[in-house]
Structure 1
């Protein structure tokens, strides 16, 4: 039995040695495979990161275009339109079709049928039937709407270059508001009978014009 034991010991050593060799080879294989997998993952991550970077770059470059305020833009166009020839007849149109029944007169008093007295007249009265459409005499911005104690429902438009027009004796159906931008010929309201100081006159539009804060004769600028 002792002889048999001595013979088995060398065999056990050889088996252990083989097992160790296999273990080393297996570990080397594992490290090799793991290294390859890491390289593959790194390559995949690199490919994925490129479109992400491009996308973020596009997002940073793309910016929302600010909306330009239409009123400011229109006012700029109004100024350009009137700057070329602000006093020329081409920039203006009659606010209503009709004949002048009462002239502009700020120096020589004119007789008023309603008040039964002579008084100055700051604008022109243009004959027109009730509810006839009244239009903007030129492009501009509405600066005032409401009822005047003397002249009834009124609209004022600033045309730039110091020009302001006033439309009075309108009906209560005014079609514009303060801040509205209008073009030449846009309808702003209709003829009414709301002027207390001119209530006895025939149906008409009372129309005034200012230049640099001073009243001027509308007939000097507009062909009626």
Structure 2
């Protein structure tokens, strides 16, 4: 009986040994597989990390380029602004020079058209109308509106509102003023110390410094000022020689 049991024990031992070898083999394979899995996971993690870094670099690059571009643009704008500021004084100086040249040209043109009125020269009537008040510096005349007598250094000539008022002779516009007594008044220098004053005007088309020929329209008859409301619409026509009133009737041509 003991002889029969020995082969069984041998077979059992062989089986156990085979099982142990199989288990050891599985363990080795499992260990290798686990290491390979960990390496694979590590490589994937490194790859993902590298990809994220590359994305961040790509996203940062446009911002850097945009910042650089903005700096270049701002620098260019600053340089342009500085150039404009530098050019402005030159432009202003040029404009001032041009304006001065224009003024000088106008003054030269006015001087080249010299006016030389003298005691033998004649005047045209500035407006078609009757004399409402005569020139009178040696005795007083009655002013209806003021209800008083006073000296009159001019001719007060009637005219309908809106009638043209023309230059009585050639000259240069010396001034254009507005006073309570004569309203808008144009002063024309006609040469040799002679001046003419045209008052009670409106819509004056000429300017100071303009050279005007005889019969040039200087304006239109306006409503009378409060000093001549009773006399009605008129033209205040005064003549001076060296600042002193002169009787225009002595120079007006007969119509």
* TMscore range, shorter length: 0.5 to 0.7
Identify the structure with bigger relative contact order (alpha carbons < 8 Å, sequence gap 6+): 1
CA contact (8 A) 2:184 2:200 kept: yes
User: What aligned pairs does 1:1-224 form with structure 2 within 5 A after superposition?
Assistant: 69-79=105-115, 82=116, 86-90=118-122, 92-171=123-202, 173-223=203-253
d(CA) in 2 for partners of 1:115, 1:221: 29
CA contact (8 A) 1:89 1:223 kept: no
Does the CA-based 8 Å contact 2:162-2:220 persist in structure 1?
yes
Alpha-carbon distance, 1:138 to partner: 1.1
Task: Spell out, residue by residue over 1:101-140, the C-alpha distance to the aligned partner (whole angstroms, 9 max, x if none).
Answer: 2100112111111101111111001111111000111111
Task: Write the distance in 2 (CA, Å) between the matches of 1:133 and 1:75.
Answer: 27
* Gap regions ≥5 residues in structure 1: 1-65
**Pairwise CA distance, 1:176:** 1.3
Contact 2:110–2:210 (CA under 8 A) maintained in structure 1: no
CA displacement, residues 49-87 of structure 1 (integer Å, 9 cap, x when unaligned) = xxxxxxxxxxxxxxxxx99825423433232xx26xx22
Q: Post-superposition shift, 1:212?
A: 1.4
The alignment's TM-score, normalised by the length of structure 1, stands at: 0.63
Would you tell me which structure has more helix in proportion to its own residues? 2
